[in-house]
Amino acid sequence: MLTDVDLPAPGLLWTRWATLSATCAAIGRAGPWTIDGRGADFAEGERNWARFALLDGRRAVLWGHHEHSATTRADPPVDLLTGAPDWLPWDNLSPLAESDRLGFVIWHENGRWSRVRYPGRLADGMTDMLAPLLTAEHTLAALGRLGARAAAEELIAAAIRAEVTADHIAALITGPDTDIASAVTVASRAGLVPGSAAPRIEPGRRPPMRRVRRLSKGEHDRLVWAAMQDSPELPRPAPPASEELDTLISWLRERAPHGDGRCTLLAYADSTSFSSQPGDLPPGDRPGEERYAAFRRLTELVRALRHTESDPRYGRWLFLRMETSATGVRVERRYDSWPPWWHDDGVSGPWRTNLQEEMAARGPAWRPSWVTLLDPETAYRPTS
């Protein structure tokens, strides 16, 4: 389903964008507003960007991404190209959408701006990023930071008439380092000077098939985690006794919260991450101990044990449960499944990329059935 968007007419939006681009050139800045042979560009950092292109007639398209674009993280996912017209620049848009780098796509046709309707109250970040273009007052305020308001008003009026000259820019921006010639070049490229024309792109062509996300990242995670919880453990021989195991047992007994040797450890580890959850009798801190010192030491001990108990055929365990007493210990290792004693909050859990690395380090016969769900393609579906 589509919805209308309240934006300035394409010609006015273009004029404001191009005027700001010319002033950026005048003060020797490479951005954030620029004009090239295919349209207008905005770039601020690596994650905030937008493109604006004119086509024949009054058709136009605006697309981009803001670091706070909730549309790229929507759960369930939002297909920003559903119902979009055939003439959009699909060669540019489709790869961005597939890789979650497209935060908004808005097109102008038949006298209106349109986009896909977002569920709930998702914000795509467009209005925050392009605020200086959205009203005449905002544009004048942006130009007014460079010079007198009256000169800014005259420059905008000349740009609307496509009659910008060097004098208009020089009246706004003064100083020995002002590059008026570069500013006029940009204005000419944008069609703001007499005898020039704004660049336009050719209509695109909708691909016969495209790859569309059917699962959000969160949904994909939860699919894998649910399969892990339903998975059985493949039978493996128990790891042999080791010095690392004895060291961890001794450390837990020393940290017994009641001083009687009884302590519980619940841990998850893979090659790059570690986490623990409190059991019935979690390890206690010592008076005066540096904050997180116990956690850091626990991380070292668990990693050392995991490394020692690794096997090139069976792989390495992911979850570990240990319950110590003054005279005994119970150890449970989970290589293939999410144990019932590890709390699932539906939000945090093993990263799929980390699990892929763990599974790749095992022999094929020792990989659980849910390993196929780790394939990134699981989250996508082809659509026409």
- Give the tens place of pLDDT for each residue, 19-63: 999 999 999 998 899 999 999 999 998 899 999 999 998 899 999
| Domain segments of the chain as ranges | 2-213, 217-383
Q: Which pLDDT belongs to residue 124?
A: 96
Q: Which pLDDT belongs to residue 125?
A: 96
The residue-averaged pLDDT of 173-182 equals 92
Helices (H), 130-179: 131-134, 136-144, 149-160, 166-172
Rounded Cα–Cα distance for residues 12 and 139 (Å): 11
Question: Which has the closest alpha carbon to 370: 340, 342, 338, 334?
Answer: 338
Question: Which has the closest alpha carbon to 362: 332, 304, 302, 318?
Answer: 318
Q: Which pLDDT belongs to residue 383?
A: 84
Q: Which pLDDT belongs to residue 57?
A: 81
Contacts of 272 (CB under 8 A, 6+ apart): 354, 357
Are 228 and 342 a contacting pair, CB within 8 Å? no
Residue type for 94, please? S
Q: Is the pLDDT of residue 160 over 90?
A: yes
Q: Which pLDDT belongs to residue 59?
A: 97
Q: Which pLDDT belongs to residue 64?
A: 98
Mean pLDDT of the chain: 96
Q: Is the pLDDT of residue 177 over 90?
A: no
pLDDT band at 377 (very low <50, low <70, confident <90, very high): very high
Torsion sign across C-alpha atoms 346, 349, 353, 358: negative
pLDDT band at 123 (very low <50, low <70, confident <90, very high): very high
Are 177 and 25 a contacting pair, CB within 8 Å? no
Q: Is the pLDDT of residue 96 over 80?
A: yes
Q: Is the pLDDT of residue 73 over 80?
A: yes
Q: Is the pLDDT of residue 301 over 80?
A: yes
The residue-averaged pLDDT of 165-173 equals 96
Q: Which pLDDT belongs to residue 217?
A: 93
Rounded Cα–Cα distance for residues 131 and 125 (Å): 10
pTM greater than the 0.75 cutoff: yes
